[in-house]
Amino acid sequence: MAVVTALVSIVLPGEFVAFPDIKGGPSAEVVNSNCLACHSGEMVTNQPRLSEAEWRAVVGKMRATYKAPIAESDDAAIVAWLTAMQQQRASSGG
């Protein structure tokens, strides 16, 4: 019985390290420590544009439905960064 082996090379996309702070806006630290544990950077940045109230509901859903270990005290900072990020992308045509 003959066994054939071959080396296969797989190239994966570059690893997403962390979101940047928004110049003149909120820090990304709380988003990096909470959101990137479960979501890819592309998944986070390619969401439909949501209002602050809608982002608050999304963050609450992550905690209540999916049991994400997000402290309620982090909600305001997460929502502020997500809202500012989307505003920045919209104003830059992104």
- Note whether residue 17 is domain-resident: no
Q: What is the pLDDT of residues 11-56, one digit of tens each?
A: 655 667 799 999 999 999 999 999 998 998 989 999 999 999 999 9
- Note whether residue 11 is domain-resident: no
- Note whether residue 10 is domain-resident: no
At 93 the pLDDT is 78
- Note whether residue 13 is domain-resident: no
- Note whether residue 61 is domain-resident: yes
Count: domains in the chain: 1
pLDDT range class, residue 7, cuts 50, 70, 90? confident
- Note whether residue 49 is domain-resident: yes
At 4, list the tokens.
């054939």
Residue 77 phi/psi, 5° resolution? -70, -40
- Note whether residue 44 is domain-resident: yes
Instruction: Give me the domain span that covers residue 41.
Output: 29-87
Sequence-distant (≥ 6) Cβ neighbours of residue 57 within 8 angstroms: none
At 92, list the tokens.
């830059």
- Where do the DSSP E strands lie in the chain? none
H or E element at residue 90? helix 75-91
Q: What is the pLDDT of residues 49-88, one digit of tens each?
A: 999 999 999 999 999 999 999 999 999 999 999 999 999 9
CA 44, CA 47: separation in Å to the nearest integer?
Answer: 6
- Note whether residue 38 is domain-resident: yes
Residue 60, domain CATH: 1.10.760.10
At 11 the pLDDT is 60
Q: Residue 50 in contact with residue 82, Cβ under 8 Å?
A: yes
The length of the chain is 94
At 53 the pLDDT is 98
At 12 the pLDDT is 56
